[in-house]
Amino acid sequence: MKPYFITLEGVEGAGKSTQMKRISGWLAAQGHTVVESREPGGTHISEMIRDVVLHGDHPEMSAHTELMLIFAARAQHVHELIRPALDAGKTVLCDRFTDASYAYQGGGRGIPERDIATLEQMAQGDLRPDLTLLLDLPAKEGLARADGRGSEDRFETESLAFLDRARRAYLARAAGDPSRYVVIDAARSVTRVWRDIQDALEQRLK
């Protein structure tokens, strides 16, 4: 069974966590050994960095500090979990990866893509996802959904304009690489979204 590296992306409230469980179950039913992970996070060190980036009260944190912390977490994640799992023939399913940095720190914070690309090369070399499922919905609706969950991280408290810029950056990246991305309309019901995801998995993972 060929191992795949599959990532889920999208703005806050897009429903990634809900669909992760369905995707993982579907892959297992096809015979894949699935490793689920998330970013920032996925390893002990990376999870500690996640707490600093997402949950700490750090209004003084600069955009470049945020970016480099996320890539530090990513470098450890790739080294300790993602590459070893793929080398062992396992399929890795990850909630966010480097596309999120291009969307949030690039589109949202305004950091140039060339700076992000430099860190991308350092942290992961030639590793790229085989398939990226972009769960897309308007930023305003995503914020409304996130508000209903109760707890908030630093990105869920960002402005609508910030998340709209992140969404546009995601869509631009998807348009530039249709062989890797599948854009899913996440504004519909969970069942309809899953149906489209399943279709994409069946078509792309051959």
Alpha carbons 97 and 71: distance in angstroms, whole number: 10
Q: What is the pLDDT of residue 148?
A: 61
pLDDT given for residue 7 in this prediction: 98
The percent of residues above 90 in pLDDT, for the chain, comes to 85
* Residues near 82 by beta carbon (within 8 Å), at least 6 away in sequence: 5, 37, 42, 92, 94, 127
Mean pLDDT confidence for 176-195: 97
| Residue 202: pLDDT over 70 | yes
| Mean pLDDT estimate for the chain | 94
100-104 contacts, C-beta under 8 A, 24 or more apart: 100/9, 100/39, 101/67, 101/70, 101/71, 101/74, 102/169, 102/170, 102/173, 103/9, 103/11, 103/166, 103/167, 103/169, 103/170, 103/173, 104/155, 104/166
Which CATH code, of 3.90.580.10, 2.60.40.420, 3.40.50.300, 3.90.1150.10, is assigned to 5-204?
3.40.50.300
Q: Which is more confidently placed, 56 or 3?
A: 3
Q: What is the pLDDT of residue 43?
A: 98
Query: For residue 150, is pLDDT > 60?
Result: no
CA distance 4 to 54: 28
Instruction: Indicate the DSSP class of residue 93.
Output: E
pLDDT in tens, 61-88: 999 999 999 999 999 999 999 999 999 9
- Chain centroid offset of residue 76 CA: 16
Q: Tokens 């689920």 identify what position?
A: 36
The predicted structure's pLDDT at residue 58:
85
* Beta-strand relationship, 5-9 and 131-136: parallel
Query: Domain locations in the chain?
Result: 5-204
pLDDT class of 12 with cuts at 50, 70, 90: confident
> Which of the 8 DSSP states describes residue 90?
P
* Residue 151 binned pLDDT confidence (cut-offs 50, 70, 90): low
**Tell me, what's the pLDDT at 31?**
97
Give the up-direction half-sphere exposure of residue 102: CA atoms within 13 A in the CB hemisphere: 17
Q: Is the pTM of this model over 0.75?
A: yes
Residue 146 pLDDT class (50, 70, 90 cuts)? confident
Instruction: Tell me what pLDDT residue 152 has.
Output: 65
Which of the four pLDDT bands, split at 50, 70 and 90, describes residue 55? confident
pLDDT (tens digit, 9 = 90+) per residue, 79-138? 999 999 999 999 999 999 999 999 999 999 999 999 999 999 999 999 999 999 999 999
